[in-house]
Structure 1
Amino acid sequence: MSKSILKVMAAASVLVAAAACTTGGVGGTPGPTSGGSPTSESSKPNAEVPKRPADLKVNGVDPCKLLTASQMTEIKVAEAVPDQIEVSDLGKQPGCFYENGVKYAYTVVGLTNRDIRAWLDGGGNTTSKLLDVAGFGAAEIILTGTEGVNCAVAVDVSDGQALYVNYSPTTQKGESQDQLCGNAKKAATLAVQTLKTLK
């Protein structure tokens, strides 16, 4: 499988996972989502995002610098490939594919035009819940009615901005939804740790 096909597959999963804010997106049949305590579910409107421990703007940050070499080793990716990536209907923004050959990819984008409340307040065709990522509020985003496809985490790093991390298996199959979301959350945590050092 060529790198270009891999990038297309990973990019398509980013668009799917982030489709909550599109009004004309493809609907899904509601189905089970990943576990977690009922008190952490936040797909209802007006989810209260906790106060940030710091203000970490993503303007001008190179997404391919958000995971260090040691962090890339930790999540078993070998290559960081820059690209212009569109998350949902937000227009293309600088992003990075962190790839493990043809097995899976993490997509990292610093969104300068989206607050995580857009996902947590519901609507569209995704299910979201509120998480804690390195002390910051975050939205875990899953396409409604799917299981084992991908998972995204958007971290509330600054007013009107989010650090978006999507995990998508490409040829590696068999991970549960909890595992997919655990991978996305781990990479998001590492990226926030690095972002703190870049500002």
Structure 2
Amino acid sequence: MRRVWGALLVAAAVLVGGCSDGGQAAAPVEPSGIELPPRPRDVRIDGVDPCSLLTEEQRTRLGLDRPPVFDLGPSLLYPGADIPACLIQGYEPRAVSVGLSIVTIAGIELFTSGGLAAAVRPVQTHGFPAVVAVPTRFTSYCTVVVDVAPGQLLDVQFADGGRQPPIPQPQLCQNAEQTADAVMETLLASR
């Protein structure tokens, strides 16, 4: 499991570190200047199981046909604590992977401050402010981060599963947004 989840952590490191293939640091990313609307309310996610955030029906709709796999481990993107995460894969009709992380040690400011090697654009999901972080160098995944409470966020990553031809990144971003919507629907129904 750690090997599978490790690929998602490497993707997160690329978002933060902006390293090139040779290990050389990429040019710094300019501040994004993104201002987000306020949250409609705070939804604390302490103790939430990330694997509970997509129902079986939602997983089927998103093409995720493998059982969710829970992981708790360190993250390069969110240093200082073990981050509860869930990996869900799908192989039919296409190969994809979704990573859901419950982050209670960092707020969405990490993504709006401009320190990422990604193009960041604001969106909303169920009225909650969010951003789509599109890696500028690697095109095999896309991330949506939802601001749920002060210093807390949901990190939803949608990645290509490696078949040919690859899934275009705009489609991965669209799927990441759909997944974030489904996650928020489930979270809000339980609160």
The TM-score by the shorter chain falls in which range? 0.7 to 0.9
Residue pair 1:82, 1:97 contacting (<8 A) in 2 also: yes
Please list every run of 5 or more consecutive structure 1 residues that lacks an aligned counterpart in the other structure: 31-42
Task: State, as a whole percentage, how many aligned pairs show the same letter.
Answer: 27
**Distance in 2 between the 1:123 and 1:160 partners?**
17
TM-score (norm 1): 0.79
Correspondence for 2:82 among 78, 83, 92: 92
What is the number of residues matched between the two proteins? 179
Determine the structure 2 residue equivalent to 1:76: 63
* CA pair 145-171 structure 1, distance change in 2 beyond 3 A: closer
Which blocks of at least 5 consecutive residues in structure 2 are unaligned? none
Seen in structure 2, the aligned counterparts of structure 1 residues 8 and 170 have a Cα distance that, compared at 3 Å, is farther
User: Are residues 179 and 10 of structure 1, via their aligned partners in 2, closer, same or farther at CA, if it must alter by over 3 Å?
Assistant: farther
* CA separation of 1:89 and 1:56: change in aligned 2, threshold 3 A: closer
User: After superposition, where does 1:22-171 map in structure 2 within 5 Å?
Assistant: 22=17, 26-27=19-20, 44-78=31-65, 79-85=67-73, 86=75, 88-90=77-79, 91-101=81-91, 103-147=95-139, 149-171=140-162
- What is the distance in 1 between the residues matched to 2:128 and 2:13? 20
How far does residue 70 in structure 1 lie from its aligned partner after superposition?
0.9
DSSP-derived class of the 1:122 partner: coil
- Deviations along 1:154-181, one digit per CA (max 9) or x if unpaired, are 1001101101100111223422111010
Tell me the C-alpha RMSD between the 2 structures: 2.3
Distance 1:133 1:186 in 2: 9
Higher relative contact order (CA 8 A, sep 6+): 1
